[in-house]
Amino acid sequence: MKISLKEQVSALEDTVNNHRTYINWVTRFVEEGKRPLDILEDTQKRLPYMEACLATMQWLLRNEEKIKEALKK
């Protein structure tokens, strides 16, 4: 199955947004003493990496045609 770059970016955007929501959820539960702080810290550490991946994929999508043209030469 071929998945277009646009579809990949869309899926990654959803994933990053879901991760941000999860961080908010875990933050609330840590504040209430229902989850340990290390879970929140681990979850927060992952977000910048996910955002960097998303930024790269968005750049690729914006420049997809230029890249294809350059590869033809």
Torsion of Cα atoms, 29 then 49 then 58 then 27, to 10°: 10
Mark residue 4 as left, alpha or beta (left: phi above 0; alpha: psi -120 to 50; beta: remaining): beta
**Tens of pLDDT, residue by residue, the chain (73 residues):** 999 999 999 999 999 999 999 999 999 999 999 999 999 999 999 999 999 999 999 999 999 999 999 999 8
Give the model's pLDDT for residue 28.
97
Q: How many CB atoms lie within 10 A of CB 1?
A: 2
Between the two ends of the chain, the Cα-to-Cα distance in Å is 28
Which pTM was predicted?
0.87
